Amino acid sequence: MSTNNSQGTIDNLLHENRVFQPPKHGPGPWHLASMDEYRRLHRRSVENPEAFWAEEAERLAWFRRWDRVLEWNAPDAKWFGGGTLNACYNCVDRHVQAGHGEQTALVWEGEPVGPATSHEVSSSAYSREPQIRRLTYRALQQEVSRFANVLKGLGVGRGDVVTIYMPMVPELAVAMLACARIGAAHSVIFGGFAATAISERAIDAKSRVVVTSDGGNRRGEVLKLSRTVEEAVSLAASHGHSIADVVVLRHTAHEKPSERFRTGEVRHGARMHWWHDLAAGVSDACPCEAMDSEAMLFLLYTSGSTGKPKGIVHTTAGYLAFVQMTARLTFNLIPDCGQLFWCTADIGWITGHSYVLYGLLMNRVTTLMYEGAPNYPAQDRFWDIIERHRVTQFYTAPTAIRTFMKWGDELPAKHDLSSLRILGTVGEPINPEAWMWYHRHIGRDACPIVDTYWQTETGGHVCTPLPGAVPTKPGSCTVPMLGIDAVVVNEKGEVLPPDKGGLLAIRRPWPGMLRGVFGNRERFVSNYFGRLKDPATGTPYYFSADGARRDGDGYFWVMGRVDDVIKVSGHLLGTMEVESALVSHPAVAEAAVVGVPHEIKGNAIHAFVSLKPQWLKANARHADDSLKAELVGHVSKEVGALAKPDVIRFAEGLPKTRSGKIMRRLLRDVASGVEKITQDTTTLEDFSVVAKLREDDE
């Protein structure tokens, strides 16, 4: 990744030696206030993990206490065996029971468009202002219980998977918690994905109920989500999977309900329902199911290096114990302390699951949810929201920060950002320039920056500064979270000395780790536990697929993925996913996709495509810009707008090894315009292909 500054990031990372001490005051007293305290607690947590995690589990509300902290038969971990609990109870009910029902759980702000209040469901539960809604813990309990009863009415119960495809509205949180309440697992799909992606995931998860909304608001436009779901339902049906029910929230209200469908009407074999019709007159009391510690809480699909997304399985007790702890420590959450936390991630990603929803509500801190774009109606939208709501902790992505830098210093300068106490980043390595800009222009040099390294699979933060204790260095995610035994090793599993680049591994299990890849045991074992092991005992280590080094202070510097997965604007995409979409177009014979450093997005997608001459001839088409545009549109339709290639290059052939593997690293060089190919090409099948690609460039 490079920045608009002339120095390259890798160079900066190697020479970065600025250190920033934690400020004296945070949003309330610091949970951990010195590096010594961190070191002492971390040592204890990895030397005696069971005692450590037992203490964290004590912070949850249990219906039945656990008997055993951990059973570890690598790679299978069972945490808090014998216990029963409920995730929704831990997020909502217990706070109401403890007398905090009137506290605001969630503040929602939408785009300033359309009718002030388009929402018509049980409005009495909300105190409303135009495009701002607040839900107390009590209101949340009622809404969740009502929707839980709606789901039950559709026959949803323990162990079922409910697919959720919604914009960032409170009902998204309500739907997720309603699933948890009745023991169903949710599978949330980001609203930017296309119909194919939805049907693929619903089929894989064997999910028969989809919850969606008529639309979502984005820059004054309406994204017609339920139409996409209908398309997905019909696609699934054509693959032999029937979706039984689709529940549609009326949110954007861009069409009259009666003009769309009537509740109960059948489309492509699925019964369509308006949320408000089903919820009308339904009781707002519903008990929380007692779930086993290891019951699946949710599935979340993430990209892998093969074409098919992986359904990452998270279970109840371990995920909750880990996320309440990491949220509390990383963001110094304290209830009744005037904190308002804003994570800008969509709930459709793990960041939203853990740090918009579960981690915040478990800690009884108010979470802010925003539906809309950072530049609508103006480019200072985020700073405007922070100022008006008095946000205390703000969590966003490096790609967004780089965009804000480009938009200019004067935008945040127009706003009073003095409420901010902690800033966070997540999603990809942050370049020091962006870190410094964030620190100065958003944090006014007064807020610690927590650069949180983690993954969909880890459930929560595994390396991050703890804001009151750990001095920060721009570009480093600093030190392991308490209880996390993170190391940098070589292929043999040997820990590397300082400043040696290697593979980031975690040696011992932790409660928030994935428990599987849904329906694919082999992929779970081989992707995560098949590559690295303890050189002495042979016990598998968790392998992150990230390259990293540790400096002399033990600080981690993550260098990025070592597999065929690229990060585009902080979102993972498998190169194979995009390639599969490309080759599904009739004009395409072969495709190879690589990531190329990009100033704002971290990586841009470059696709090398070889075409079928017969097809071109038969259809009187040419390898031209109109075909490129068509292919870009095709990928967007198949996978989603986030997978659109930035550059498409037509090639007569793709460079391959003698065994037929496409040589991506060569293509990467070609795509990023490296002057001279110095890489080893001894196994290249046909070097003239590369020469040809480079000529085309001139």
Under the rule (CB under 6 A), what is the footprint of ligand WT7? Answer: 302, 350-351, 426-429, 451-456, 477, 544, 546, 558, 560-561, 567, 572
Is the Cβ of residue 344 or residue 544 nearer to ligand WT7 in the bound state?
544
Q: How far is CA 280 from CA 146, 263, 285, 393, 443, in A?
A: 9, 12, 14, 37, 46
Q: Provide the residue count of the chain.
A: 698
Cis peptide before 398 (omega within 30 of 0): no
Instruction: Check if the beta carbon of residue 264 is closer than 8 Å to that of residue 273.
Output: yes
Residue 228 makes CB contacts below 8 A (sequence gap 6+) with: 165, 194, 195, 198
Taking the complex as a whole, how short is the minimal distance between the CB of residue 571 and ligand WT7, in angstroms?
A: 6
Q: Is the dihedral of CA 289, 290, 291, 297 positive or negative?
A: positive
CB nearer to ligand WT7: pick between 191 and 215: 191
For the CB of residue 617, give the shortest distance to ligand WT7 in the complex, in Å.
42
Residue 567 or 585: the one with the smaller Cβ distance to ligand WT7 is 567
Report, in Å, the least distance between residue 319 CB and ligand WT7: 14
| CA gap 281, 645 in Å, rounded | 48
User: Considering beta carbons, is residue 86 or 302 the nearer one to ligand WT7?
Assistant: 302
Shortest Å, Cβ 382 to ligand WT7: 19
Q: How near is the Cβ of 561 to ligand WT7 at its closest, in Å?
A: 5
Least Å from the CB of residue 401 to ligand WT7: 12
Which one, of 601, 600, 595, lies nearest residue 672 by Cα?
A: 595
Tell me how far, at minimum, the Cβ of 453 lies from ligand WT7, in Å.
Answer: 4
Q: Which residue in 232, 165, 230 sits closest to 203, CA to CA? A: 232
Instruction: With CA atoms as reference, report the closest residue to 275 among 298, 301, 246.
Output: 246
Residue 291 or 558: the one with the smaller Cβ distance to ligand WT7 is: 558
Nearer to ligand WT7, 66 or 331 (CB): 331
| Tokens, residue 115 | 């009718």
* Beta partners for residue 243, in sequence order: none
Residue (197 or 426) nearer to ligand WT7, CB = 426
Handedness of CA 534, 539, 542, 546 (dihedral sign): positive
534 near 493, Cβ under 8 Å? yes
- Closer CB to ligand WT7, 86 or 603, in the complex: 603
Residue nearest to ligand WT7 (CB): 456
Q: What's the closest the beta carbon of residue 427 comes to ligand WT7, in angstroms?
A: 5
333-362: burial string, b at 16+ Cβ within 10 Å, e else: bbeeeebbbbbbbbbbbbbbbbbbbbbbbb
If the CB atoms of residues 574 and 645 are measured against ligand WT7, the closer one turns out to be: 574
Give me the least distance between CB of 663 and ligand WT7, in Å please: 23
What percentage of the chain's residues is helix, strand, coil (to nearest 5)? 35, 25, 40
What are the residues whose beta carbons fall under 8 Å from the beta carbon of 344, sequence distance 6 or more?
Answer: 370, 374, 382, 394, 395, 396, 397, 400
